[in-house]
Amino acid sequence: MKKTFRIIIVFFGLVTALLPLSVSAAPALDPENTIYLDLPTGRVVIQMLPNIAPRHVLRIKELTRKGFYDGLSFHRVIPGFMAQTGDPLGDGSGGSGQKLQAEFSRVQHIRGTVSMARASDPNSADSQFFICFAPAPFLDGQYTVWGHVVSGMEFVDKIKAGSQYNNGAVSNPSRIVRMKVASDVKP
């Protein structure tokens, strides 16, 4: 009986010792570089990439802390491609008034990528950004990627789609309820 008991203890000791090696927990998100994008359907959590696009991350956080994005519409939504927001005019022609120098990288545009919208000038990004519904490799290296959705993509999928005949323009669009930097949210 003692021998069986010892074998059980040794077995559980080995299992306990090996458990951390076999189960990898996801790294905790840095609240200062995490965005909570609240939509009418639920919360989207975006991990920002300050090591990839430091100036863009800083500007997004600055605008977010000012409440700039609260209530803005997803004015251009193309199913199977992306949902775009960040224009206070709601038609794709507005911004915050501060252009940003491009920070292109090798980060790929895949499902959940958050990237800056811009005009034909590579250094024309301002406040508008888009979230990819699906891979869009033709954008790689040409648009500044500043984040990635880590949870809540199912809520992004529910954003009202735009017209396929009008470059994704949306009538009666879905809106951002609020957008916050996670470190600013009180528990």
35, 46 contact by CB (below 8 A)? yes
Q: Please state the pTM of the whole predicted model.
A: 0.85
Architecture of domain 29-182 in this structure: Beta Barrel (2.40)
Q: 3-state SS of 63-104?
A: HHHCCCCCCCECCEEECCCEEEECCCCCCCCCCCCCCECCCC
**pLDDT tens figures, 137-181:** 999 999 999 999 999 999 999 999 998 889 999 999 999 999 999
**Apex 33 CA angle, 119 and 24, nearest 5:** 120
CA 109 to chain centre: 12
**pLDDT tens figures, 25-44:** 556 899 999 999 999 999 99
